[in-house]
Structure 1
Amino acid sequence: MAEDQDRDDPPSDRSARTSAAPDSSPEERYRKIFQYNNDAVMVVDLETESFLDVNPAACDLLGYSREELLSMHPEDIHPNDVERVRKEFISQVYQEGSGFTDDLTCLTKDGEEVPTEISGAALDAGEDGTDPTQMIAMLRDISDRVEHRRDLEEKIERLDRFASIVSHDLKNPLSIINGHVTLARENGDPEHFDAIEDAVDRMDEMLSELLQLTREGHLVGERTDIELEPLAREVWIDCELDPATLEIKSSRTLYADRDRLHELFANLFENAHTHGGETVTVRVGTLDRDDRNGFYVEDDGEGIPADEQDTVFEWGHTTTSDGTGFGLAIVAEIAEAHGWEITVYDAEAGGTRFEIEVS
């Protein structure tokens, strides 16, 4: 019968009956928004700086029960930021009726730091200009956003490092090309053109490999078994450091990225040549101590002062007027990317000794 009655009623009557149906009060709607909000919502007494009410999301975020939070103060959950919050956030609420900050670290019951953003608004600002006594504050966990931003920053930093590696390591083949071009113009000897072609091929290979590495986001690519002595001699020839001398004291097999290992040796050899002079002697060998497994590169140059040995691997550290400070930093990056550890010592011959411990 009810269905028949609805069917017979004119649309205007049905609409009137529907609009007249009982509805929840504004207080009830706001209570539901407070109760089921995914963000942590807190009602704060501004005079006592205490919590008057908190929603379930606040308990979930901070790890406390509702009763525990109601017995606490805002400074209990952000002790390191409380003064800044008072100065930058609470003052906004007093002056403008609302406030916001996206840089608030909250401390959970378990001691975990959670990055959050907080927005708030005065609840009872008087029309006569009196200060509010309560506010509602909404906390949002931005851990994912912070992690994403940190990942982007790391990628940018890594790309900067790759760019530094490219610009630094291309200088050697470019100087070789420049030198052989000058000689070729003087005597036209075909061997100079061969050297130029080899250097160009090396540059092309380096650029291709480094471009691939930047896309993949890793400094080290495919690893293979590499014999130490032939690679070291190959790098020495590529660097064209005569009349300096290379001595191979012992050899071993290394499991490494061949191109990156080539760069590691090239930078160590060039560093020795730069600081030890044109007639420097460079020695390469394996570590023969029971407590270390790896290889070393040392020279008989002037050595590195003790107070600088802790900083030689830092980016930009250089002791020459025309140096970039990238060479040894690149060596350290390549070693670390392989899971190796590099340490600098004074060599017995008076120069510098770099020991690379492999895993």
Structure 2
Amino acid sequence: MTAVAVALPVLSLLAAAVSAGIALVAYRRRTRPGALALAVLTLSSAVWTASSAVALGTFDPGTRQAMETLVYLGRGTLPVAWLVFAVSYAGLSDRFSPAHLVAVSVVPATAFLLTATAPLHDLLWTDYRVVGSAVAGVRFDPGPLFYLHVGYSYALIGLGTLVLGWALAGDDRLRSMEGVAVALGSGLAFVASLSWLFGVVPVPGVDPTPMVLSVSCVLFAVVVFRRDLIGRSPAPRVLGRRVALEGFSDAVLITDAEGRVVDANASARERLPTEPVGEPVAGLLDAATAPAAGRHDLRVPTVDGPKPFSVSVSPVRNRFGRSIGSTCVLRDVSGRERREQRLAVLSRVLRHNLRNDVNVIRGHAATADGATADDDRAIAAMERSADRLAGLSRKAGTVERVVAAESEPVGEVDVGAVFGDAVDRVAASYPAVRFESTVEADRPVRADREVLYAVAENLVENAAKHGDGTVRVATSVAADGAHVEVVVVDDGPGLPDQERETLLADTERPLQHSSGLGLWVVRWGVGVVGGRLDASSADPTGTRIAVELPAA
């Protein structure tokens, strides 16, 4: 027992040295999340253990009781620092304001003041006395505020341990060794503190907690610096996600497994007529039931009245793959809906007026008597212009269908059959052109059939219109099987540079111009189905346009 008693001050000084060393290293890394709080935590441990070592050699009761002031400075600060460290490390510091820090520090600060004035009152203890001959242990009868301080300290340490455990459990990069080290370090100090509280200690009157803290600090040092616990703090990830969520322009609702909203971003709170947290998501979306995973078009009540929203629902799963809730992203599509309505009205009006004017031109041309050769040429010019206007009206309708299909899901289409139909249609309109088609059936791609047919028809028609009599259409499959390529070749003078820029430009520039809508249909249509375009010169003359489409 004597040897153990003599070793206690040495162990306390060792614990103080280890804690002070960790505090210094943590302070040097104070820019990292939780590092500054860790420095305060380990400095508190150093103060506690160092003052305990000195107190163990102080046998005068008055001086020994005065030493308790330094002991309680470290003992009272450590639980607060532990909670702040856990909160900072876990990325919850934005929810722990200075006011919260002041609030949780009231009890420890009061205990420190009561310790400094202990001889003047009996609130902390009575009958304070020094026991032992090898080391100066103490015994006393606890006062009412002593138990309050001890219970409060345990509560802070327990809460901080839960927060830190939650942060470690959510970090897949940390192995079980780190978690065991943190749990073991916290557990040893907790058991030592409880043994002192209930008087089950090897040396009477001596609190073993400061000595055990040396082992805890070594374990924390290994995890924090050897395993770079501070460097792998989840705080940037947690805070970054929260900032991104709050700054997201779309409304976001997070629900639990029962479909009740547990969190919402600022956009959702601003748009929805009621506070969403705590409400069933089905009621907020004015739906009969909570929407299933996927995308839904719903009219949702807002502060400005019901509006159309595109609602994307994704399940939230835990580490075991079990669904514990969902995220609902609400995108206001009222602007898109208005644009689509206006475009549809504009398209219908233009096409209607074009058709009427074309019919008028054709009617007058048919009734003209062609008295002279100039009249015949004028009539022919009117008929050609009427045909071009009719074609423009038809292509305007095609453009409308292509644009409308942009938001629709794609299916599986036989590209060989689509291009074969397009060749047959164009060949009927251009009987003087020779078509060499080697498109193969059973070439499935992922596309909308109507959009793909519009692309095929305009490519083949453009080749027939600008070629010198021969159009070749062929299909091939990429070596990796991921793409199907369709090639359309004509023997004309070649594609003008301006038309090539229209077809292959990465972006649409305001001054970009094409002689017709056909190439726009091709470009937009290929983009809608997720394909790629390439245009080059054919050998010896002409244009070669290749369309690469994703295989089904």
Greater per-residue helix proportion: 2
* Pairwise same-fold verdict (TM > 0.5): no
- Bigger Rg over Cα: 2
Alignment TM-score, normalising by the size of structure 1: 0.42
Alignment TM-score, normalising by the size of structure 2: 0.30
